[in-house]
């Protein structure tokens, strides 16, 4: 089996993680128990997840010329991610976030995008960044112009594209036709107009609704599992793995990186979703919490 090269175009964030017994309510000052820095950004996390599944992971993005940026680049390299196409931007702060996680494993976060908003889309038109690439991963933490150029270049080169539309926001009307697989969670699906998602069947209904604009759709529904609608119209309902939750932080990114890898290796959408769900379950159970 050949080792696929997967390109992730997206965000890199220096995450400051805070642990507390509960998430603060509006206007509440909650007392935390500890904090620690963590490598993050959906793009970075998904690129690392790709590498963990044995694929050759390549990252395109930007960091600032600061300590946060050096931390992010060091972590990419330590995870075996090719960072040659991550730009270091002078006089620009790296992306960062502050996330609070409670004792039940739930979390909430605020991001400051920094260098992620200054990525140069034109650099994606160079041939070197696409050398050997068979799959592209996108998210919504970088400007639309970056995603649009990346998806256009991928289509011209016969490279399949996965869009993790997170966080949910209106998309340029020219982007959906360039996407091979859309992946959203329940909240994102609802924000994209797919209706309230409260069960696997409603997730499947949402996937069918979104498939009016996208070739194939995966709707993840947390502890319930996921639903998918493939390019041929087949619908999959996949209950969640039975596991003990340690932390849900980063589970979606672990799933995306694994899904891209299994698709690049030739699995169909149903088999790739099943395999990627097992990877995400391992992550949630605490076996991949360094992501």
Distance CA 289, CA 283 (A): 6
Q: Is 110 exposed, middle or buried (0-12, 13-18, 19+ CB in 10 A)?
A: exposed
Of the candidates 265, 191, 266, 275, the residue with the CA atom closest to the CA atom of residue 228: 275
pLDDT in tens, the chain (291 residues): 578 999 999 999 999 999 999 999 999 998 999 999 999 999 999 999 999 999 999 999 999 999 999 999 999 999 999 999 999 999 999 999 998 989 887 878 888 999 999 999 999 999 999 999 999 999 999 999 999 999 999 999 999 999 999 999 999 999 999 999 999 999 999 999 999 999 999 999 999 999 999 999 999 998 899 999 999 999 999 997 776 555 556 788 999 999 999 999 999 999 999 999 999 878 766 665 443
Domains of the chain: 5-287 (3.40.1190.20)
What pLDDT was estimated at residue 291? 38
What pLDDT was estimated at residue 122? 97
Report the Cα 214 to chain-centroid distance in Å.
18
Distance CA 30, CA 145 (A): 38
What pLDDT was estimated at residue 243? 62
At residue 184, the 3 state secondary structure works out as strand
**Whether pTM exceeds 0.75:** yes
What pLDDT was estimated at residue 13? 96
What pLDDT was estimated at residue 289? 43
Distance CA 216, CA 179 (A): 8
């Amino acid at each position: 089996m050949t080792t696929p090269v997967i390109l992730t175009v997206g965000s890199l964030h220096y995450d400051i993680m805070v642990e507390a017994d509960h998430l603060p309510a509006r206007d509440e000052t909650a007392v935390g128990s500890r904090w620690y820095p963590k490598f993050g950004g959906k793009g970075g996390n998904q690129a690392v997840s790709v590498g963990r599944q044995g694929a050759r992971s390549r990252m395109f993005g930007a960091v600032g010329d600061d300590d946060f940026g050096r931390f992010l680049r060091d972590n990419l390299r330590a995870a075996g991610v090719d960072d040659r196409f991550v730009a270091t931007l002078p006089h620009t702060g790296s992306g960062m976030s502050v996330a609070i996680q409670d004792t039940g494993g739930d979390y909430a976060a605020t991001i400051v995008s920094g260098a992620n908003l200054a990525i140069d889309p034109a650099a994606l038109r160079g041939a070197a960044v696409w050398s050997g690439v068979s799959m592209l991963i996108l998210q919504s933490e970088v400007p639309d112009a970056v995603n649009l150029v990346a998806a256009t270049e991928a289509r011209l080169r016969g490279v399949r594209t996965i869009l993790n539309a997170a966080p949910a926001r209106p998309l340029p009307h020219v982007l959906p036709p360039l996407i091979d697989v859309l992946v959203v969670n329940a909240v994102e699906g609802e924000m994209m107009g797919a209706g309230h998602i409260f069960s696997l069947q409603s997730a499947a209904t949402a996937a069918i609704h979104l498939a009016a604009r996208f070739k194939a759709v995966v709707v993840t529904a947390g502890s319930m599992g996921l639903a998918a609608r493939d390019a041929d119209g087949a619908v999959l309902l996949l209950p969640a793995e039975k596991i003990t939750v340690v932390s849900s932080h980063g589970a979606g990114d672990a799933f995306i990186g694994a899904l891209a890898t299994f698709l690049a290796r030739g699995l169909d959408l149903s088999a790739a979703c099943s395999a990627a769900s097992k990877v995400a379950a391992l992550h949630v159970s605490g076996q991949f919490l360094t992501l």
